[in-house]
């Protein structure tokens, strides 16, 4: 029968392109993003190393998504009277107000003066002097020879600069007791750096223990004389004598390494005191 005739079977074949090849240029975009991210990372690391704590805090506050608003009192002549409510000369109408002695968080973030800001600024200044002596920032103001005899660290008392003897390289001539030429040059450099701040200065001297007791000069006298010599060198380099807070000789009673006779214990300690001391 005609109705039972089979219809022709039609088969359609779809052409499927293969997945091989280099996939076009999409990898170039991904590689460019990777290089950009690495460049941003290294720039961030460089900025962290090249900026001070105050500068980093200022950058963080600038990019902060929200600005803290402190509750302060206004004392101006109207909203647009030309006076700022943060002005020291304007009396507040209520509350405590803001001043240099009691700054708000906003004022501190802007770098305005206050107790906390003074401490941070002092720490930054001491760190800058330390970097100039040790060359951590890339440049050092002292000679390569002198830098081998210096160690620095920030303490609660201030910036401690330790100048010590090395085997065969004493700070003072064993025969005459005169300071080595490089120590004299170092004192001039330190006095110049200390001139950038107004902190007090303490000078302390230590010696290494000796196997034989000296009959002529005691350790107390020797260290006191060395401390006085260093004070004289600093003042000759330009340090104001009124800034010297103390000059002390400790003999061999405070070794920093063992054995006590090690040359490393023969040292001078110059402390750039914090203003709170």
Q: How far is 142 from 164, CA to CA, in rounded Å?
A: 15
Q: What's the pLDDT at 137?
A: 58
Cα distance from N-terminal residue to C-terminal residue, the chain:
119
Task: Find out whether 142 and 186 touch, Cβ atoms under 8 Å.
Answer: yes
Q: What's the pLDDT at 97?
A: 47
Which pTM was predicted? 0.58
Using DSSP's 3-state secondary structure scheme, residue 271 falls into strand
**Which residue in this structure is represented by tokens 């991904």?**
30
Q: At what angle do helices 181-194 and 219-236 cross, to 10 degrees?
A: 60
Q: Collect the ranges in the chain with pLDDT lower than 50.
A: 1, 67-102, 104, 107-113, 215
Q: What's the pLDDT at 197?
A: 93
């Amino acid at each position: 029968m005609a109705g039972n005739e089979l219809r022709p079977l039609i088969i359609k074949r779809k052409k499927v392109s293969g997945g091989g090849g280099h996939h076009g240029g999409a990898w170039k975009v991904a590689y460019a993003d990777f290089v950009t991210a690495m460049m941003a990372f290294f720039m961030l690391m460089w900025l962290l190393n090249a900026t001070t704590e105050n500068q980093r805090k200022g950058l963080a506050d600038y990019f902060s998504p929200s600005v803290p608003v402190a509750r302060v009192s206004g004392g101006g002549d109207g909203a647009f009277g030309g006076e700022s409510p943060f002005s020291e000369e304007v009396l507040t109408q209520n509350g405590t107000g803001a001043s240099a002695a009691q700054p708000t968080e906003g004022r501190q973030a802007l770098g305005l003066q206050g107790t906390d800001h003074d401490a941070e600024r002092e720490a930054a200044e001491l760190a800058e002097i330390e970097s100039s002596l040790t060359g951590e920032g890339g440049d050092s103001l002292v000679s390569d020879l002198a830098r081998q005899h210096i160690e620095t660290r920030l303490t609660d008392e201030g910036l401690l600069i330790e100048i010590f003897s090395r085997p065969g390289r004493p700070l003072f001539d064993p025969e005459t007791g005169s300071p080595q030429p490089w120590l004299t040059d170092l004192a001039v450099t330190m006095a110049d750096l200390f001139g950038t701040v107004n902190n007090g200065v303490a000078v302390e001297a230590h010696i290494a223990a000796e196997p034989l007791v000296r009959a002529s000069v005691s350790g107390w006298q020797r260290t006191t004389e060395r401390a006085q010599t260093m004070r004289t060198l600093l003042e000759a380099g330009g340090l104001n004598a009124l800034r010297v807070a103390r000059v002390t000789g400790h003999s061999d009673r405070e070794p920093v390494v063992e054995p006590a006779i090690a040359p490393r214990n023969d040292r001078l300690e110059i402390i750039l005191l914090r203003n709170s001391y």
